[in-house]
Structure 1
Amino acid sequence: MRLATLLLFLGFLRAAALAPGDKAPVLEAKDSYGRPVDFRGSYVVLWFYPKAKSPGCTAQAKRYSELYPEFQKLGARVYGVSHDPAQEQCDFVEKLALKGGMIPDPEGRLARAFGVRSLLGFYSRDTILLNPEGRVERIWRSVNPFQDADTVLAYLRGKAR
């Protein structure tokens, strides 16, 4: 019991029991350039990652960027979300010429709302897909950064049939 209490205190246990079909938490957010993000009206992919510029996160970001035109064809918007401050995310985007958006979440509001674990400011690698009606369509927890974008794109392609 002490370990569970410690992990909860550190933010490692999931804060929210979110499930497919649930109404997505209504939150206001801005991307790393300060533009408002609307979570309704189209599919929205939120891929949570631990730290900008780290090897796994770089690979995951590059793959989402490569596939971004395919996501757009399916009417999906794609956002990476991390604890990193906006300027660090902007540097990440510009250094790698990434497509899609980034959302800084330094207070952890989005992470908590979507049940993403956080340990010392590093988010677990989870991906949440919201549908155009503002509901949670699908949740992938502890994803592989090298396969995540392909997995989500395949799911969306299956929905388009």
Structure 2
Amino acid sequence: MKLKPGDPAPLIRVQDALGRAVDLAELVRQGRYIVLWFYPKASSPGCTAQARQYAELRDAFQQLGAEVFGVSRDPASAQCDFIDKLALGGGMIPDQSGLLGRAFGVGGFLGLGALLGLYNRDTILISPQGKVEQVWRNVNPFRDAQVVLEYLESKMKAAGQLEAASR
């Protein structure tokens, strides 16, 4: 089932590629936004561009109270190579079992995900209230991070929180 804005987010506990616990429920309790950007394959051209953008904008996301995680069905070893190669600094979740993909309704790449073990390029934003805030399906890997950041900045500005977040 594909989630839509306003739905309760599945607040699952998983491990990142470096073996650290990522507890989505705990991040929500801390009042954090969570960005999950699902991608097909580590080190492919589009995924590399998308990962670089998120890495370059990491500080801006953190200033807005957002934690960012890339999610693919790649094994942790492939994601660790990806992290090292691009100096990503972590934030990658190997979802070989498909638990997160199923929970967030992320389909298979080009409709062949079950066969190829690849995710569509979808991005999910979870609010600090534990709800799905926004869903972007089949995103452009060259613009995704900027689109999500601009959405968050706009939301914070409208709520009068942007100035407070940047202090």
* TM-score, structure 1 normalization: 0.88
Segments of 4+ moved more than 3 angstroms: none
2:90, 2:125 → 1: CA distance?
A: 15
1:88 to 59, 78, 84: 78
1:33, 1:99 → 2: CA distance?
A: 10
Partner of 1:158: 154
Gap change, CA 1:25 and 1:83, over 3 Å in 2:
same
Partner of 2:133: 137
Q: Mark the runs of 5 or more structure 1 residues left unpaired by the alignment.
A: 1-15
- Contact 2:17/2:90 (<8 A) preserved: no
Shift of 1:25: 1.0
Taking every aligned residue pair, what percent have the same amino acid on both sides? 62
- The AA in structure 2 aligned to 1:24 is A
Shift of 1:19: 1.0
Partner of 1:116: 106
2:37, 2:2 → 1: CA distance?
A: 18
Q: Deviation per CA, 1:83-137, whole angstroms, max 9, x where unpaired?
A: 0001110110011101450000001110011010121211000000001111100
2:18, 2:57 → 1: CA distance?
A: 22
- Contact 1:77/1:100 (<8 A) preserved: no
Once the two structures are overlaid, the 10-residue window that deviates more, 20-29 or 120-129, is 20-29
- Contact 1:68/1:99 (<8 A) preserved: no
- The AA in structure 2 aligned to 1:121 is G
Shift of 1:160: 1.1
2:53, 2:73 → 1: CA distance?
A: 20
Question: Matched residue of 1:87: which SS?
Answer: helix
- The AA in structure 2 aligned to 1:87 is S
Q: Deviation per CA, 1:8-55, whole angstroms, max 9, x where unpaired?
A: xxxxxxxx1311111101322111111111222310000000000000
- The AA in structure 1 aligned to 2:153 is R
1:110, 1:95 → 2: CA distance?
A: 25
- Contact 1:68/1:100 (<8 A) preserved: no
- The AA in structure 2 aligned to 1:114 is F
* TM-score, structure 2 normalization: 0.85
Higher relative helix content? 2
Q: Mark the runs of 5 or more structure 2 residues left unpaired by the alignment.
A: 158-167
Q: Deviation per CA, 1:122-157, whole angstroms, max 9, x where unpaired?
A: 100000000111110000000000000000000000
1:47 has 2:32 as partner? no
1:149 to 145, 152, 158: 145
Gap change, CA 1:66 and 1:82, over 3 Å in 2:
same
1:122, 1:38 → 2: CA distance?
A: 23
2:152, 2:107 → 1: CA distance?
A: 25
